[in-house]
Structure 1
Amino acid sequence: MIKNPPVIERIVKEMGGKIVKIVPERGYFYIDIKGKRLLVTRKFQIAGSLTADSALTRFKDLTDFILKENGIATPKTASFYRKTFNEKEAKRILKAFEFPVIIKDAAGSNSKGIFPMVKNSAAAIRTLKQEFKNFSCLIVQNMIQGKEYRVTVLDKKVIGALEMIPPRVWGNGRDNISKLIVAKQRDMKKKTPIDNALRAVLREQGFRLKDIPQKNQAVFIRKNSSLAEGGELRDVTALVNPEIKKICVRATKLVERTLSGIDVMCDDITKDPRKQSFNVIEINGKPDIYIHYNPNFGKTRDVVRDIINYILKTQ
């Protein structure tokens, strides 16, 4: 397939257009022709269906590029590739970031390949060099503050939305935080490590592991929504601001999906995104749909029925 690009470029020029390379490492480029911009790959693949395996959602670096290119807010992001990594250039790029940052495997899913709370540029470089043994592309992102939401989109409609509440323990006035964590996760396969990341999260709230919270006082033990460690779900489908719905539907179309799960970080899902801190964190091309059933708070959204009815209607 590596022979395709020269042929494509020659024909496009003959037709009066031009090639604009965007992410060479992924083989994606634009064809600007006859007043339109077409997104294609060096395999000359054009996809946009419910079941298509689109790299635009499989790779976070591509997703971020496409969203930014089209004016959708995302966190400040830099992509680094194992084959082209240059430490001097990386140090220059990282100077523009506010620390701590989060580093992610660009092809990661299910909370794997995530390295949060990277304190400074030196630590980021160390993490990149070390993890390139395991991952071909890593992205560095500013850590965004706010509440995390998952918005599930089907074609032109939001069919479900959830607030993703990070794992937390509730004080009983007797046990310290360390004991509360053990009790909460006794029957869970995944345990929250007692490490510097946990201590940092507690410190931000004014706590230490040995502290005893007051009765019914909530103490978060993660900053992200790790369901495996006891994160909770609140249905907010009826509350999503119309402008946020439009952004999520548009983002789904931009990455050539019909069904998507969009991770949003904002202050309040009910408010206009233009009047608050709002970012699309990533787009999942194969979203978890089970999470819309029996949430911890709020009602079930029967998204499976919606999807099946959509397929029956459109096939």
Structure 2
Amino acid sequence: MKSIKALIYSWVSQKYMAGCSNYNSLQVRKASRSKRQAREMFARHDIPHARGTLFLNPWKAHLFAREHGFPLCIKPNVSGFSRGSHFPINNYRELWKAALMVKIWWPTSIIEQYLLGANYRVLATGDSLVSVIRRYPPFVDGNGRDSISTLIDAENATREQMGLYPTIHPIQKSQATIDYLRRHGKTLDSVPDDGERVYTFNRVALAPGGVIEIIDQSTIPDANRELFLKVINAFDAKLFGIDVIFEEGIEKDYREQRCIFLEVNSRPYTRMHSVPRYGERENLDEFYSEMDSLVIADSDTF
């Protein structure tokens, strides 16, 4: 049975987790596998997080929206790479669509309040921050002359010249992009004003062309740094990718603004930290060398 599980886990890792680290024990991974588990740990250790609930029946999500209002986020209880996540949800039509579509990925789902702010992934060990990135939905900046389509082509060419592919993806001109632009009164042929930022999708995921910016760690207050380490040690993890939103930014003390921790990733996708679109690239070779020397219990077991 163990050999069969190992084969299945190996297939899952190759199929869905290529480029993801594997430095945590089976015990840690089991304790942080679902978003519900993360929320419960956040609550237990007084770590700021969004009010939310687990639901199987979409009507429960509807009732949550009636009580708490919008914007909201709906996501599978178990998933990665933002698969199946829908945010920000601003009305009941979007809510019902998300509450039904999310079931494609996992039978149980999470609905929670969504904070409009800056979205970060913090890569941390029990005693230090390894790398901090800010994540943006895909966007182009207007120049008053070129269409959105032309700006996308230029941005994708820049990414190719910078050597960001295949870790970072090109901005798409898919039907989803066209639909998103239409909802905001634009088309691929629209010409944005000089300096106008146009988002082409709502999610920070890499697949539709999300943007990565390296954050200078010297700008992060000690209180925020200590809070991240508190999360790692609460789970007794070797390495986590922590997803968090700050209303005003990670450079400001979390106690002076709204802040919500979203989830933890026991097998974070670390490649994206090495190929930012903005900010200075970091050399993480020494870190990887140290982590690779660790002996991890049951690393090949799901």
Calculate the TM-score normalised by the size of structure 2. 0.73
Residue 304 of structure 1 and its aligned partner are, at CA, apart by 4.3
Out of 243, 247, 251, the residue aligned to residue 270 of structure 1 is: 251
Change (3 A) 1:146 1:153: same
- AA matched with 1:66: M
Q: Which amino acid aligns with 1:174?
A: R
1:116 is matched by which residue type in structure 2?
A: F
- The structure that has the greater radius of gyration is 1
Letter in 1 for 2:258: S
Amino acid at match of 1:64: R
Matched, 1:59 2:30: no
Offset of 1:295 from its aligned partner? 1.9
Select 1:227's aligned residue among 206, 222, 226: 206
State the AA in 1 paired with 2:72.
Answer: V
Note the C-alpha offset of 1:290: 1.4
Give the match for residue 292 of structure 1: 273
Helix, strand or coil at the partner of 1:141: strand
Residue 128 of structure 1 corresponds to 99
**Which of 250, 256, 262 is the matching residue for 1:281?**
262
- Tell me how many residue pairs correspond in the alignment: 259
The residue that corresponds to 1:26 in the other structure is: none
- 1:138 is matched with which residue? 109
Q: Which residue of 1 aligns with 2:24?
A: 50
Which residue pairs with 1:258 in the alignment? 238
Residues 98-143 of structure 1: CA deviation (Å, up to 9, x unaligned): 2232211111111211123434446535643454355221111222
With over 3 angstroms needed to count, the CA separation of the structure-2 counterparts of 1:313 and 1:119, relative to structure 1, is closer
> In structure 2, what residue type is equivalent to 1:234?
E
Instruction: Check the 8 A contact 2:72/2:89 in 1, yes or no.
Output: yes
Counterpart in the other structure of 2:131 = 160
1:306: Cα distance to partner? 1.5
Match status 1:79 vs 2:54: yes
Residues 162-210 of structure 1, C-alpha deviation per residue, up to 9 Å, x if partnerless?
121321112232233355446655885672513554445x46xxx6765
Conservation of the 8 A alpha-carbon contact between 1:261 and 1:286 = yes
For 1:194 and 1:311, the matched residues in 2 are separated by 39
Distance in 1 of aligned mates of 2:211 and 2:285: 21
Give the counterpart letter for 1:243 in structure 2.
Answer: A
Residues 15-58 of structure 1 show CA distances to partners (whole Å, capped at 9, x for unaligned) of xxxxxxxxxxxxxxxxxxxxxxxxxxxxxxxxxx8332623332
Q: Which residue of 1 aligns with 2:227?
A: 247
- What is the correspondence of 1:140-219 to structure 2 with a 5 Å cutoff? 140-177=111-148, 180-181=151-152, 184=155, 191=172, 193-194=176-177, 196-200=179-183, 202=184, 211-219=190-198
Unmatched 5+ stretches in structure 2: 1-22, 161-168, 297-302
Q: Which moved more, 1:174-183 or 1:135-144?
A: 174-183
Q: Shift in Å at residue 96 of structure 1?
A: 2.1
User: Partner amino acid for 1:51?
Assistant: S
Q: Tell me the SS of whatever aligns to 2:228.
A: helix
In the alignment, the residues of structure 2 paired with residue 230 and residue 174 of structure 1 have an alpha-carbon distance, to the nearest angstrom, of: 23
Cα offsets for 1:252-293 (capped at 9, x unmatched) = 222332100111211121111000121112211111111221
Partner residue of 1:44?
none
The one of the two structures with greater contact order (alpha-carbon pairs below 8 A, sep at least 6) is: 2
Greater shift, 298-307 or 149-158, is seen at 298-307
SS at match of 1:78: strand
Closer/same/farther in 2, CA of residues 313 and 109 from structure 1, 3 Å limit:
closer
The alignment's TM-score, normalised by the length of structure 1, stands at: 0.70
